[in-house]
Amino acid sequence: MPTIRRTKVEFEGRIEEREVIVEEEHVVPWERGHQMRLVGKPVPRVDGVARVTGRATYTHDVQLPGMLVGRFLRSPHAHARVTAIDDGEARALPGVFGIWHRFSPPEVGGLDGRELFPEELFYEGAEVAFVVARDRRTLGDALAAMDVGYEVLPAVQDFESATAEGAPEAAMGASNWITPDGSIYERGSVAAGLAAAAAVVELDFTTQVAAHCCMETHGSAARWEGDLLTLWHSTQSVFGTRSSIAGALDIPMDKVRVISDYIGGGFGSKWGAEPFTLMAALAARATGRPVWAMLSREEEQLVAGYRPGSRQRVRLGAMADGTLTLIEQEARVTTGAHGGGGHVIGGPAKDLYACDNVRTAVWAARTNVDSARAFRAPGYVEGTFALESAIDALAGELGLDPLDLRFRNYTETSPSRGQAYSDKRLREAYELGAERIGWRDRHEKVRQEGPWRRGWGMASQIWGGGGGPPANAIVKLLPDGTAEVMVGVQDIGTGTRTVLSQVAAEELGLPMESVRCVLGDTLPTPFGPGSGGSVTLASASPAVRSACREAQRQLVALAAVMMELEDVPVDRFDVVEDEIVYADDPAKRLPLREATAKMGNYMIVAKGARGPNPDDRAVNTFGAHFAQVMVNTETGELKVERIVAAHDIGRVVNPMTATSQVYGGVIFGLGFATTEQRVIDPGTGLQLTANLEDYKVPLGIDVPKIDVLFVDEADVSANSVGSKGLGEPPIIPTAAAIANAVCDAVGVRVTDLPITPDRLLPLLQQEVMP
Amino acid sequence: MAVEFRGPGRVPVSLNVNGVPSQVFVDPRRTLLSVLREELGYMGAKRGCGHGQCGACTVILDGHTVYGCLTLAIDCEGREVRTIEGISNGQDLHPVQEAFIEHDGYQCGFCTPGQVMSAVALLEENPHPSEQEVLHAMAGNICRCGAYPNIVDSVLAAAAVLDIPQGGGEA
């Protein structure tokens, strides 16, 4: 029975007390070393054929009879007022089915409290009008034929001008300050930390704006059948999308179905309903035809979010033996017109090390650009770069090995929560990584090749990813001995469909091919969380186990009758391989398939829920990256030769898909460290990099050798599967590890990202020619 | 105001896609990608950027890879177009496709059809590529998820499989 419980909920570094409805799982955790057929095995993806044949249907691929295409006309200015719109020429084009804007408004005027077509436009790309036409050519012609009058207004692009007295507004009716109080966290005192310190380092850092660059742009397709709305939406949260669109349209939730079967990349930016979702639904209702509205690449780069840039100052104090006495980290971020993202830069400073005196502050302000969004470990990526670079500098100052300094300040309890960890194996991750890269004898290796200098660096990482309730699963056990598992989560490319199938097949005693996992659709599935904060597996897999356990109990109860053992309690039977066995007389056994076959048309339907998290434990994930780099002292060129990534995420359900996720995280981290940066022209406030050529994401030829290592010990007190999240951890420490390796190679500490030759070369010249 | 269509009128174009001849009547400014997806129902090639910067629309034209989004449909008159839909034989996958599954050469899968087509074209031209040759041949295909190490493994594994003589021995 469900009950309401007050419990701590962690999401992307924020912990809050919330009342949540929880059910007990009634499932005994899989212990460490538990022998399993499928869990822990490198099972190829269950949807692999669909992905390699082009038959997987992404929102981008939805085609429906009579479907129209829709797109916004967007503001070409960083800040402007719409004075007039002449749509006469566009409306007259054959094949244009509808145009909406502030002088010809749609029947619903806003989404999530924001006006769809406001008079004042606060960023380049802000929505001005929405046009639907029978095909893309006609749509393009119509958008080009729109005549809009703008009064251009002054804009702000940086923290200082945004927060200056009398600065232009960056959002309607809101102060440019988002966190004027600095969201300060403090334990102990800075003065005490300084007083106890034998060495102090203080460094300034900047991190750039980084763009998600999902390969499938954001978008939706909408179809009405009577009062029933079906939305295809490239989203990390089908249920979140359903509630926001039902709210915006003021229609009941049961009239909305949201489908996201395949998603072409989701790195934090694809969440609920967006303006194009709402306009697709409204235009489809108005025209009586399905409407498809996917962003173009330019729109994707302009209005689909980014990781905000930051300016940070880190001050560390330590005793001569390396014991930390002070961690202080301050950050300034600009998060665009409507804020969001980047507010937990101080998360790692609070929890990565044992330290009595810690102070973090984050000041955030609005500017005239589109809003920042969550981006793979928001805040932690930026914060860890600065913190772990400063730790490296402190090790240098103290004459200690950077790894030894980290061991010196290792903590077995969560410093900010004052609780023991459910399990923490960062120590093992350090050791695995150090051994693989040869950390201890790195000084004996070849460090010079012509103008190239080689160096090694490392950095560590903490993240949440414990997941939690609510998450449910429904299992149908079919007469032929196959099963359908329905879970309301999404597979954003991480392999969720595969790993949940592994867990279900393991629990049900079925082969992989006898389990089908249905997700990414609000109609058949019970609630599952959005795929963010690395929670999907840790939230959903225990619910799947629980539902499968219940289905099996029901089958065993039926089998007992079939075996004429109806008076024997269910727990006196075991499922061994694919047979139901009476424990007291193992000769009495019934193959699973025979039992299900005897059900006729009856089908077992069972449900399961994610149980609560332990309230007296902190559930976290940990990892360490080790980098080997070469720097060309003549050109400033940086070549990352090798990254060793060692992670503690509890039990690894599928080492193949898990390794892929680590590759992905490291490669994102590599791009962040070396090439990626969004550039905005300070004069006009317009973006200069809104494409995939000027914004440089890594290609295969840019990628170094990457070694992926897992501690792989089940966290049995975290949940019944013993697994924690992995989506975000592997992007977190990469940039710091690379920057620390650069410092080891050439003796200069790069504190500004990305580490490009134009940045590195002047630093090298200063070092060589003081 | 008179109702007017913009641009030149539609023209007939004869295409041969995956060995199947078909004729479409399209605006001359239509790209091959747009005609494949919107007229002929080949949805495997994706529009990731529309500017020839990402490679998700990669198809093979007369034996060489092209970006479908930068190729005009009228330029393909009478030429052979191969798409991801044309490289497997019914239920039998191409060895490159098999290798991508076996080596987890993808994550979200959106760029995968383009990656597979680049790999197929490479192996037809150079059956024994080195790792560096694979990396260079596939440098026009972005995988934002970062599946690159497994993509390279997949292509090299497929090359090894394709290298095994068919029919139990050398001819």
Evaluate whether A434 touches A415 at the Cβ level (below 8 Å).
Answer: no
For residue A494, give the chain B residue with the closest CA: B107
Cβ–Cβ under 8 Å, residues A486 and A605: no
Distance from CA of B93 to the nearest CA of A (A): 8
Residue bearing tokens 């507004």 = A169
- Structural tokens at position A382: 């930026």
Contact yes or no for B108 and A63 at CB 8 A: no
Return the pLDDT at B169. 41
Vertex A399, ends A763 and A674: CA angle to 5°? 35
B36 to chain A, closest Cα gap in Å: 12
Do A248 and A43 contact (CB within 8 A), yes or no?
no
Q: Decide if B111 and A215 are in contact by the 8 Å CB cutoff.
A: yes
Give the three-state DSSP class for A294: strand
Nearest-angstrom CA–CA distance, A621 and A726:
8
Any chain A CB within 8 A of the CB of B45? yes
Tokens of A203: 């460094």
What pLDDT score was predicted for residue A21?
A: 81
User: Pick from A186, A179, A728: which is nearest to A465 by CA?
Assistant: A728
Pairing of strands A358-365, A185-187: antiparallel
Going by C-alpha positions, the residue among A321, A319, A374, A368 that lies closest to residue A344 is A374
Nearest CA-CA distance, residue B164 and chain A, Å: 22
Measured CA to CA, the distance from residue A623 to residue A645 in angstroms comes to: 7
Query: Which residue type is seen at A478?
Result: L
Q: Where are the alpha helices (DSSP H) in A374-495?
A: 380-398, 402-408, 426-437
Strands, sheet with A452-463, edge to edge from the N-terminal-most edge strand: A448-449, A452-463, A621-632, A638-648, A705-710
> Which of A92, A668, A700 faces B151 most closely, judged by CB atoms?
A700
Give CA A269 to chain center in angstroms.
8
Identity of the residue in B34, B101, B111 whose CB atom sits nearest the CB atom of A49: B101
In this structure, chain A runs to a length of: 770
Among B1, B84, B110, beta carbon nearest to A216: B110
Q: Select from A482, A477, A509, A481 the least CA-distant residue to A597.
A: A481
Phi (first) and psi of residue A67, to 5 degrees: -65, 135
Tell me the chain B residues in contact with residue A699 when contact means C-beta distances shorter than 8 Å: 139, 142, 148
Q: Residue B141 has what pLDDT? A: 98
- Three-state SS for A394? helix
Name A419's bridge partners. Answer: A414
DSSP A752: B
Residue from the list A56, A61, A660 with its beta carbon closest to the beta carbon of B104:
A660
Name the one residue in this structure whose structure tokens are 């082009």: A54
List the 90-149 stretch of B: residues with Cβ below 8 A of A: 93, 97, 100-102, 104, 106-113, 116, 134-136, 138-139, 141-149
DSSP output for A127-152: EEEEEEESSHHHHHHHHHH-EEEEEE
B90-111 pLDDT, tens digit each: 789 999 999 999 999 999 999 9
If one compares B78 and A169, the residue with the highest pLDDT of the two is: B78
pLDDT at res. A768:
56
- Angle A647-A723-B143 from CA coordinates, rounded to 5°: 60
Query: What CA–CA distance (Å, rounded) separates A84 from A147?
Result: 8
- Taking only the tens place, the pLDDT of each residue in B126-171 is 999 999 999 999 999 999 999 999 999 999 999 999 987 654 444 3
Instruction: Determine which helix (DSSP H) or strand (DSSP E) holds A311, and give its type and residue range.
Output: strand A310-318
- Is A442 in a helix, a strand, or coil? helix
pLDDT on residue A193 = 98
A536 neighbourhood in chain B, CB within 8 Å: none
User: Which chain A residues are within 8 Å of B43, Cβ to Cβ?
Assistant: 54, 57, 61, 63
User: Do the Cβ atoms of A656 and B108 come within 8 Å?
Assistant: no
pLDDT grade for B5, boundaries at 50, 70 and 90: low
Cross-chain residue pair B107–A493, CB shorter than 8 Å: yes
Query: What is the C-alpha separation between A508 and A239, in angstroms, rounded?
Result: 27
Using DSSP, state whether A404 is helix, strand or coil: helix
Written as one string, the DSSP assignment of A627-686 is EEEEEETTT--EEEEEEEEEEE-BS-S-HHHHHHHHHHHHHHHHHHHHT----B-TTT--
CA-derived radius of gyration, chain A? 28
Q: Is the pLDDT of residue B45 over 70?
A: yes
Average pLDDT on B7-22 reads 92
Are B143 and A698 a contacting pair, CB within 8 Å? Answer: no
User: Do residues A684 and A78 touch, judged by C-beta distance below 8 A?
Assistant: yes
Give the position of tokens 């009495």. A588
Q: Tens of pLDDT along A478-534?
A: 999 999 999 999 999 999 999 999 999 999 999 999 999 999 999 999 999 999 999
Query: In angstroms, how far is CA A241 from the centroid of its own chain?
Result: 17
CA A156 to chain centre: 29
**Among B27, B51, B72, B110, which would you mutate to test the A interface (most chain A Cβ atoms within 10 Å of its Cβ)?**
B110
Q: How far is B144 from chain A (nearest CA, A)?
A: 6
pLDDT exceeding 70 applies to what percent of chain B?
Answer: 92
Q: What is the pLDDT of residue A337?
A: 92
User: Nearest C-alpha of chain A: how many angstroms from B150?
Assistant: 8
- What number of other Cβ atoms are within 10 A of residue A577's Cβ? 10
CB-count exposure of residue B114 (10 Å: 0-12, 13-18, 19+): buried
Per DSSP, which regions of A50-184 are E strands?
68-74, 80-86, 96-101, 110-111, 114-115, 120-121, 127-133, 147-152
Return averaged pLDDT per consecutive 10 residues of chain A, 770 residues in all: 80 77 83 93 98 97 97 98 98 97 95 93 98 96 97 94 89 85 94 98 98 98 98 98 97 98 96 96 98 98 96 98 98 89 86 98 95 95 98 98 98 96 98 98 94 98 95 97 97 97 96 97 97 94 97 96 94 90 95 94 96 93 98 97 98 98 98 98 96 98 98 96 97 98 97 97 76
Closest among A67, A692, A434, A363 to B142, alpha carbons compared: A692
Cβ atoms of B76 and B24 closer than 8 Å: no
User: To which H or E segment does residue A706 belong?
Assistant: strand A705-710
Contacts of A668 in chain B (CB under 8 A): 146
Nearest-angstrom CA–CA distance, A247 and B59: 42
**How does DSSP assign A485-545, residue by residue?**
EEEB---SSS-HHHHHHHHHHHHHT--GGGEEEE-SBTTTSPB---S-TT-HHHHHHHHHH
How far A387 CA sits from the closest chain B CA (Å)?
26
Chain B CB contacts of A94 below 8 Å? 3-5
Q: Is B5 on the interface with A (CB under 8 A)?
A: yes
From A214, A215, A700, residue closest to B148, measured CB to CB: A700
For A300, the closest chain B residue by CA position comes to B49
